[in-house]
Amino acid sequence: MTFQDADAERPDLARLTALQLRDALAVGQESAVAVTRHFLAVTARRNPELGAFISLAPESALRRAAELDEHLADAGPAGALHGMPLAFKDVVDVAGMRTTFGSRVAAEAPPAQEDDQLVYAVHSAGALSTGKTTVPEFALPCHSENLISAPARNPLDPTRTPGGSTGGGAAAVASGMLPFAPGSDGGGSVRIPAAACGLVGLKPGRGTVPTDLQEDSVRNLTVSGPLARNAADAALLYDAMLDGPGGEGRSLARALEAEPGPLRIGFSTASPFSPDLAITLARPAVDALTAAAAALGRDGHEVVEADLAFAPGYHSDFRTVWTSALTRVPLPEGAEALLGPLSTHFLELARGYSPSLITETVERLTAWATDARRHLAAHDVVLTPVLAFAPPAIGAFTALPPAEDYEFQCRFTPYTSMVNVMGLPAVSVPVLRDTEGMNWSVQAIGRPGTEGQLLALAARMEQLLAP
């Protein structure tokens, strides 16, 4: 179902940050219905080109908006995100909407009966969902193409991928279809599309978001995090993800106005995928890292090149842990015939792993993570590139044989999955645009529990690097 009302678009609303929009909604300066109609109208205009949404739910969104307007009149704002439209990627359940996982296996699944825990938490903070955003099959690749819907495309250049697997969410935010979006990140799935589309994307540390799996294991790679157009907007959504139902509301977005104290910041282009894979950085990736390091040095931080030496074996061990996750997906009988080539390849690999091989691999990867964290701990923050080269064209990954497709993804994103394995927080921050208008970001990796510090650093970088 689509929403056709071009007159509902409001240029004045499009100019507001998410924080400004939330404030206007909270005091009744804007109604939730008018704001929702605006974003639905932008979606109706832009989604056919960009494929950001795999499904839309305008009627339920407008009903929820009307209820929120009534709540404001009777009892004040419903929560810290009162009236804010957003959309979850199509791998989490939203009541009344189908969850397809971007796969033919679940394309005809019935609508979910209840919200996922994270969805419930964010909705309880006053937000509303306008649909589900596009993902690759089972959110495994770092692009956002699947066999059941149009591919998500990059608003900076629609011939290119917006990254993945939260690529649909990133495309929606970057094109003005949403003020911000929640995502999940198991190997870079928030930071990669943030960098591809010029957004801020936060990956919290393992177990930080209460609704995430709390197991402290290198097999527990996926966390939930926000994508937004700036650090303060990301902090606003992240606050709600942390607080959940009944939360008193944190003030992280406001706290970012304070500059972070002097930090010891390291920068590096070392990747754990080397030497197994040839990692070659495009010139703008290096330029962005250099520009960010120089700006932070001028700002009073101690900035030095980090001496990172990663233990060997990461490429093979991460691939084993990453692909083994597919065996934990409850596939119905006959599902194999419906899977795409990459998922089929991953499943074949995973079914060939013996229990002893998995145990040994997890032990090695755990030791690798301990050693890697020790190297990073010499610094408060470590800066790396996010993407090695510009987002490839739509179809560039899927045209390759599956094994080559996966290696191409690793070479495209050689710095993100290691942070998931280490369980540390990291944020993707835009730094510069190249001559073709594409964005280049840096990744700032922090110590455990420093998500607020990373967002404050991102906010400061926005000031330092503003054109």
d(CA 154, CA 174): 8
140 to 32, 283, 343, 357, 377: CA distances (angstroms)? 35, 28, 8, 22, 29
d(CA 120, CA 100): 19
Q: Taking a C-beta distance cutoff of 8 angstroms, is the pair 94, 132 a contact?
A: yes
Active site residue 324: no
- Cis before 262 (ω within 30): no
Active site residue 165: yes
d(CA 401, CA 137): 16
Of residues 31, 103, 189, 417, which has the active-site annotation?
Answer: 189
β partners of residue 132: 55, 88
Active site residue 203: no
d(CA 412, CA 428): 15
Of residues 144, 165, 343, 441, which has the active-site annotation?
Answer: 165
Of residues 31, 55, 60, 89, which has the active-site annotation?
Answer: 89
448 to 208, 426, 456: CA distances (angstroms)? 9, 10, 15
d(CA 160, CA 443): 21
Position 448, amino acid: P
11 to 121, 184, 218, 298, 412: CA distances (angstroms)? 30, 30, 45, 37, 36
Catalytic residue positions, numbered: 89, 165, 189
